Amino acid sequence: MKKFLRYLLYLLGAVVSLVILFILFIQFRGIPNYEAKEISITVVPTPQRIAQGKKLASMLCVKCHLNTETQLLTGKFLVDAPELFGKIYSKNITQSKEHGIANWTDGQLAYFLRTGVRPDGSYVPMYMPKFIKMADSDIESIIAWLHSDDSMLRASNVVPPSSEPSWFTKFLTNIAVKPIPYDGVAIDVPDTTNAVEHGRYMATSQLQCYACHSGDFAKLNDLNPEKSFGFFGGGNSMLDYDAKVIYTANITMDEETGIGTWTEADFLKALKTMQTPQGKILNYPMEPYAMLNDTELKHIYAYLKTVPVLRNRVVRR
């Protein structure tokens, strides 16, 4: 019996040692690097393309990269990034050659926007959206704007602190969360006269509303958004301006726990003015979508009406 217990202790000791070694390996290895590639494109910066790029970037990039002190896209601490990801800072994406993206080619920017892999091979994980299914024309528009002379992009050598990803983030990026390979297949904007199809494109591929309004950031399915856990049912944990936890809303058409009682006019008002039909003000990190026109908002609403209803009562402040 004593011999058995001794061997059992040896076994437990070996298991504990392996676990400790694994934890240390993940901690010190950090987020893996990948082969840096670029997509073979040359963007022609027409005024129309730059305008569309600014419109998209104002909703997708500016909130995270605009530093209120510099009034430039020099990066900042992301107060609303989920705590489980660690202490996250966005990067300088101004026209600085030393610390921004002035030296990035169109193809490098396109590959980064698609995969999250920078020209130096470093990888930005879950806290930056990857525009895997965004139309080529929209990707090119964002690139045209990023390479423009917009005042927010004026060259600045401000360098934000480096992010401090959590062990959990390092674990996920070593085990499960990796760049989705770029397949080079052309992607077009759906027929904009088809409200549901265009709304689906905007909500899942262009603006990626589902990412925040689903149930778990760690269980998002970038290739098949509809397979994400709690798709549009809300419940994701985020932080407001005061670093207090807030849970994203259920925006499926459930009449008790979602927005099933909202009319199209209610939906447009909420996204424009941040006010619900009940008179409540929507909390940050939700912000008004002033750049979208009524038709675009109506298309998103039309698509949401087709999303499978989820009964998920989210505790809201």
C-alpha–C-alpha distance, residues 256 and 119, integer Å: 47
Tell which residue, 143, 155, 48, 146, has the closest CA to residue 95.
Answer: 155
List, for residues 124-170, the tens digit of each pLDDT value: 998 888 999 999 999 999 999 999 999 999 999 999 999 999 999 99
DSSP structure string for 223-245: SSGGGSTTTTT---EEE-TTS-E
DSSP class of 129:
-
Confidence bin at 116 (pLDDT 50/70/90): very high
b/e per residue 139-153 (b: at least 16 CB within 10 A):
bbbbbbbbbbebebb
Structure tokens at 107: 């193809």
C-alpha–C-alpha distance, residues 287 and 279, integer Å: 16
C-alpha–C-alpha distance, residues 296 and 303, integer Å: 11
C-alpha–C-alpha distance, residues 76 and 139, integer Å: 24
Cα–Cα–Cα angle for 139, 221, 211, rounded to 5 degrees:
65
Beta-carbon contacts of 231 under 8 Å, excluding residues fewer than 6 positions away, are 210, 214, 215, 225, 307, 308, 310
C-alpha–C-alpha distance, residues 149 and 47, integer Å: 12
C-alpha–C-alpha distance, residues 15 and 265, integer Å: 60
Dihedral sign for Cα 47, 49, 51, 53, please: negative
Q: What domains are defined for the chain?
A: 47-175 (1.10.760), 195-304 (1.10.760)
Cα–Cα separations (whole angstroms), residue 121 to 32, 34, 35, 111: 9, 5, 5, 11
Confidence bin at 53 (pLDDT 50/70/90): very high
Say if residues 259 and 275 touch (Cβ distance below 8 Å): no
**Ranges of H-type helices in the chain:** 2-29, 47-60, 62-65, 106-115, 136-146, 167-175, 195-200, 209-213, 264-273, 294-304
Cα–Cα–Cα angle for 300, 125, 189, rounded to 5 degrees:
30
Q: Does 8 score more than 70 pLDDT?
A: no
Beta-carbon contacts of 8 under 8 Å, excluding residues fewer than 6 positions away, are none
Give whichever of 4-8, 200-204, 237-241 has the largest mean pLDDT.
200-204
CA dihedral 63, 182, 219, 15 (to 10 degrees): -120
List, for residues 264-311, the tens digit of each pLDDT value: 999 999 999 999 998 888 888 888 898 999 999 999 999 999 999 999
Q: What is the mean pLDDT of residues 210-228?
A: 90
